[in-house]
A = this chain, B = another copy of it.
Amino acid sequence: MKIPKPLTNVIESFQKLPGIGPKTAQRLSYYLLHVPQTELEHFAESLSKLKKETVLCTICKNVSEYDPCPVCSDTKRDTNTILVVEQPLDVLAFERVGQYDGMYHVLHGAINPLENIGPDEIFIGDLLSRVKSASVESFGEVKEIIIATNPTMEGDATAMYIAKKIREITTNGEVVKITRLGMGVPTGADLEYADEATLREAIDGRRAI
């Protein structure tokens, strides 16, 4: 017995999503058979509109309904600091904390030679021209760049590359402070299970209390 074609189509679409295997895809698709048609249409419509009705903010490259995005057009925020992240979801994580009130820059990835992602495939160039043009117009001058790429091989390499490039373009007098997120043991962690690299970072980054 074969699964009916309309079902296989849905199963295949679900299976392409990250973290969803064949079994889960089947379960989700069969579940949808019990859902009212109006809800299915709503789901379908939201999918087809997802990219049509969103844009990348020309300033920070975050996903947004409007351009510039709510953060970049918010006059109450500190334009002197740019926090650089890999993904739009990372912006959400920082906004949930509510402590940071500067600008963002979303790279949409990290340098990853194994997957053929070089500096030109992600929005590093845009970050550099943002820093450059801000200093030329001396309006909203960038004083600090916080690099908050993921603490992985790729994220670290991207951070190093960005720091190097920014130092290159800001040699003419002005000083841009470049920082990286603090690293160490996360809150609530069990030291017994912390890996060596994390503990090494935690010792290096120790602070006086």
Contacts and interface: CB of A to CB of B under 8 A. Distances in A.
B48 A40 contact: yes
Interface stretch (A21-29, A129-137, A173-181, A195-203): A21-29
> Which interface class (under 10, 10 to 19, 20 to 34, 35 or more) fits A?
35 or more
Interface in A15-60: 16-20, 24, 26-35, 37, 39-54
Contacts of A4: 53-54, 63-65
Interface string A1-22: 1111111011011001111100
A45 B51 CA distance: 15
A49 B44 CA distance: 10
Q: How would you classify the secondary structure of chain A's contact residues: helix, strand, loop or mixed?
A: helix
A54 B7 contact: yes
Contact of A5 (B3, B43, B51, B65): B65
B47 A1 contact: no
A34 B17 CA distance: 11
A7 B63 contact: yes
Contacts of A41: 48
B89 A1 contact: no
A50 B64 contact: no
A166 interface: no
15 contacts: A1-B71, A3-B92, A6-B50, A6-B52, A6-B54, A7-B63, A10-B46, A13-B46, A20-B28, A32-B51, A37-B51, A41-B48, A43-B44, A43-B47, A44-B44
